[in-house]
């Protein structure tokens, strides 16, 4: 018998049926693949928070939690684990980097790896990096074209973040380009929506990244230098790790700290340029740059969501979550919850409340947060100081087809001629 539908049509039909059933059951749907959602996820999240805050997505076959208080509680609840989200059969080089990262580990391995890395990611260390990062930002800002549209993300934010992480870790100059290339190839493949080409490139780059980091770790164990890796590998915490584990832990920093920080800086600059009153406040008082970064983190929530799996049957806010079911942590949804943040979509540098969930909460709280905050403040500060007249060249920023890190495709701006 001839098939009535081809594979694509059948998938589309299945998706439509799942969404219709979801709408009927809970009066709300969650479809992160929809173009309208990508352009503006806020309406969907508002509906979910109001109508079905712990929502079963038929389409994704998992729950999503969208209210701030609920998510905050879930992130501390040990009945929901991270390691359990692993698919054990996946042992590709890319999967190895993710599966061996603190993000996918639970106690006791989680504490072992995290305390090794924590030593390097303190606010004091991040502050000490300001002059070097400032010099990098100023150099990149200086080279931007004037009087014509330019993609700020490609020409400033992206090279800044990639250079900043290599600088912070102390990757030797001669090997920086290779590291930047490998981490740039691996990072986009972390998203569940990725093409075969992206996946292939990531799986080719991942072993090289690990081999080179492993070599660097061995070198620094033998002959320490002045850099962060030398310091980390000689701490008491490092004694509990093999050189290979150290290489994997460091690889995740390079990979997990790139697109996230690019999205944070791009989101903050975009919000400032869209809100001239807020921009004027920050220009008048450089002390408000840090607040702008917090608001940028909250409103744009670069890590849109993450996931957990229930270790046992749990009744959560009246919903029966069965053992083994997955739960998405709606960071952006929670950060725009009006029950927690009044007028939540307003970018307000005087809000003075940075207890958002953009960097997560609980045992998996983002390890890179102090460094990402400093990187973002330095980059935004450098742009505003260098260019008194910079504006958006579009009123609609397009986003990539990613689900986890909400990354703009570009940020077109115009810098006044002679600026
Ligand atoms: C220097 C840059 C960064 C580095 C090195 C970094 C690294 C990490 C690491 C290692 C973890 C896992 C921590 C653990 O499981 O214990 C993590 C978690 C996380 N990071 Fe970052 N990160 C960076 C930037 C960012 C940025 C800019 C954001 C968003 C504003 C972000 C959001 C998150 C979130 C939400 C989690 C928790 C995910 C969960 O609970 O499942 N990170 N980060």
Rounded to the nearest 10°, the torsion over CA 343, 346, 347, 353 is 0
In the predicted model, is pLDDT for residue 64 greater than 60? yes
- d(Cα 232, Cα 120) in Å, to the nearest integer? 7
**pLDDT one-digit tens code per residue, 159-218:** 999 999 988 998 998 999 999 899 889 988 888 777 788 889 999 999 999 999 999 999
Q: Which amino acids bring their CB within 6 angstroms of ligand 1?
A: 102-103, 114, 252-253, 256-257, 260-261, 264, 297, 302-303, 306, 331, 358-360, 364, 366-368, 371-372
Q: Are 65 and 328 in contact (CB under 8 A)?
A: yes
- Tell me what the pLDDT averaged over the chain comes to: 92
DSSP string, 11-49: HHHHHHHHHHHHHHHHS----TTSHHHHH--HHHHHHHH
Lowest mean per-residue pLDDT among 2-6, 187-191, 309-313, 356-360: 2-6
Q: What is the mean pLDDT of residues 130-152?
A: 95
In the predicted model, is pLDDT for residue 1 greater than 90? no
Whose structure tokens read 């009246």?
Answer: 318
Q: What is the mean pLDDT of residues 65-93?
A: 85
The H or E element spanning position 124 is helix 123-128
Q: Which of 68, 260, 266, 304 to mutate to test the pocket of ligand 1 (most atoms within 8 A of CB)?
A: 260
Which domains are seen in the chain, by residue range? Answer: 61-415 (1.10.630.10)
**pLDDT one-digit tens code per residue, 351-379:** 988 899 999 999 999 999 999 999 999 99
Dihedral (CA of 260, 296, 116, 310) sign: negative
Structure letter (DSSP) for residue 322: P
Q: Which of 160, 266, 303, 374 to mutate to test the pocket of ligand 1 (most atoms within 8 A of CB)?
A: 303
Residue 24: phi and psi, rounded to 5, are: -65, -40
In the predicted model, is pLDDT for residue 4 greater than 80? no
What confidence category does residue 132 fall into, taking pLDDT thresholds of 50, 70 and 90?
very high
Which residue, by CA, sits nearest to atom 27 of ligand 1? 261
Whose structure tokens read 């190895």?
Answer: 96
Q: What confidence score (pLDDT) does residue 189 get?
A: 86
Which residue, by CA, sits nearest to atom 34 of ligand 1? 359
Name beta bridge partners: 320.
315
Percent of the chain at pLDDT exceeding 70: 97
DSSP string, 177-212: HHHHHHHHHHGGGGSSS--HHHHHHHHHHHHHHHHH
Q: What confidence score (pLDDT) does residue 84 get?
A: 58
Q: Which of 249, 256, 332 to mutate to test the pocket of ligand 1 (most atoms within 8 A of CB)?
A: 256
Q: What is the mean pLDDT of residues 53-81?
A: 96
Q: What confidence score (pLDDT) does residue 195 get?
A: 77
Which residue, by CA, sits nearest to atom 25 of ligand 1? 260
Instruction: For residue 261, report the distance from its CA to the centre of ligand 1, in Å.
Output: 9
Atom of ligand 1 nearest to the CA of 306: 41
Instruction: For residue 292, report the distance from its CA to the centre of ligand 1, in Å.
Output: 19
Instruction: For residue 222, report the distance from its CA to the centre of ligand 1, in Å.
Output: 30
Q: Are 264 and 293 in contact (CB under 8 A)?
A: yes
Instruction: For residue 359, report the distance from its CA to the centre of ligand 1, in Å.
Output: 6
Which residue, by CA, sits nearest to atom 15 of ligand 1? 103
Q: What is the mean pLDDT of residues 298-320?
A: 96
Q: What is the pTM of this model?
A: 0.94
Count the Cβ atoms, other than its own, within 10 Å of residue 43. Answer: 10
In the predicted model, is pLDDT for residue 24 greater than 90? no
In the predicted model, is pLDDT for residue 244 greater than 70? yes
Lowest mean per-residue pLDDT among 20-29, 119-128, 333-342: 20-29
Instruction: For residue 103, report the distance from its CA to the centre of ligand 1, in Å.
Output: 8
């Amino acid at each position: 018998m001839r098939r009535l539908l081809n594979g694509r049509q059948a998938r589309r039909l299945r998706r439509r049926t799942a969404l219709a059933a979801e709408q009927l059951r809970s009066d709300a749907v969650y479809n992160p693949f929809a173009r309208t959602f990508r352009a503006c996820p806020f309406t969907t999240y508002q509906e979910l928070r109001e109508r079905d805050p712990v929502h079963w997505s038929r389409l994704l076959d998992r729950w999503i939690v969208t209210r701030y208080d609920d998510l905050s509680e879930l992130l501390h609840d040990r009945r929901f684990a991270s390691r359990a989200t692993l698919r054990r059969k996946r042992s590709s080089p890319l999967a190895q980097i993710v599966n061996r990262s603190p993000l996918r580990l639970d106690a006791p391995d989680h504490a072992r790896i995290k305390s090794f890395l924590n030593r390097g990611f303190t606010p004091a260390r991040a502050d000490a990096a300001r002059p070097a990062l400032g010099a990098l930002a100023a150099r990149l800002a200086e080279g931007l074209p004037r009087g014509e549209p330019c993609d700020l993300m490609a020409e400033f934010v992206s090279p800044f973040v990639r250079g900043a992480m290599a600088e912070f870790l102390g990757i030797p100059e001669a090997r920086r380009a290779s590291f930047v290339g490998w981490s740039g190839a691996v990072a986009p493949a972390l998203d569940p929506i990725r093409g075969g080409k992206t996946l292939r490139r990531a799986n080719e780059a991942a072993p090289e990244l690990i081999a080179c980091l492993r070599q660097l770790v061995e070198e620094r164990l033998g002959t320490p230098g002045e850099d962060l890796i030398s310091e980390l590998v000689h701490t008491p915490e490092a004694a509990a790790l093999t050189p290979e584990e150290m290489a994997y832990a460091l690889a995740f920093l390079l990979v997990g700290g790139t697109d996230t920080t690019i999205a944070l800086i791009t989101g903050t600059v975009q919000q400032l340029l869209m809100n001239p009153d807020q921009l004027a406040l920050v220009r008048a008082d450089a002390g408000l740059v840090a607040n702008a970064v917090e608001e940028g983190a909250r409103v744009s929530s670069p890590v849109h969501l993450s996931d957990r799996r229930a270790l046992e049957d749990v009744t959560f806010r009246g919903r029966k979550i069965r053992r083994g079911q997955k739960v998405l942590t709606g960071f952006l949804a929670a950060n725009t919850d009006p029950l927690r943040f009044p007028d939540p979509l307003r970018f307000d540098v005087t809000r003075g409340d940075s207890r958002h969930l953009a960097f997560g909460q609980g045992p998996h709280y983002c390890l890179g947060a102090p460094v990402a905050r400093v990187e973002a403040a330095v980059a935004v500060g450098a742009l505003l100081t260098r260019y008194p007249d910079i504006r958006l060249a579009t009123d609609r920023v397009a986003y990539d087809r990613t689900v986890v890190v909400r990354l703009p495709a570009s940020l077109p701006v115009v810098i006044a001629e002679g600026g």
